[in-house]
Structure 1
Amino acid sequence: MIASLIALSLAFQDVTPEAAFVACVAEKDMDAATAIRDADSQDTFEASLMAAFALCPVEVAEFSMKNLFDALAELPTAE
């Protein structure tokens, strides 16, 4: 139900579901969001993504990896 409401809300905005997911994860735990972006192996990427899904459950059937990586690229970097 919540995922459906989020999808409906996103339909009226210029925000991809992937960007909304990354924003949700970053808001709850910035380290979890950057762990996805900075993963150095497939296993680390998958583990980080699963941890992020635990923070912000979403329907991923229509997720685009390009949109996900574009959203992750918008995260601030350590200076």
Structure 2
Amino acid sequence: MDALRATGEYQAFQDTELRGFGIKVTPTGAKSYTYRWTKPDGTQGRRTIGYYPAMQPGEARDAARRESEIIDRKGDTG
């Protein structure tokens, strides 16, 4: 996580272990963990799970797993 640096543009990195889980880096260098899924209408949904360094990557991955169990992809309400 410390190797991810601000470039002046938004950056997104996807996890290789958990589908939908990723990290977003803002132009100023703020890092957030996100979970993405496809809604029934074909659009992408995204929720912020937490922020680095307050939440470590393992904790964020566990939270994303819980989020994936909560989200009803067929009747998405979020």
Q: Same fold (TM over 0.5)?
A: no
Could you say which structure has the larger radius of gyration? 2
> Between Structure 1 and Structure 2, which shows a larger proportion of strand residues?
2
Higher relative contact order by CA 8 Å / sep ≥ 6: 1 or 2? 1
What is the TM-score normalised by the length of structure 1? 0.32
What is the TM-score normalised by the length of structure 2? 0.32
> Between Structure 1 and Structure 2, which shows a larger proportion of helix residues?
1
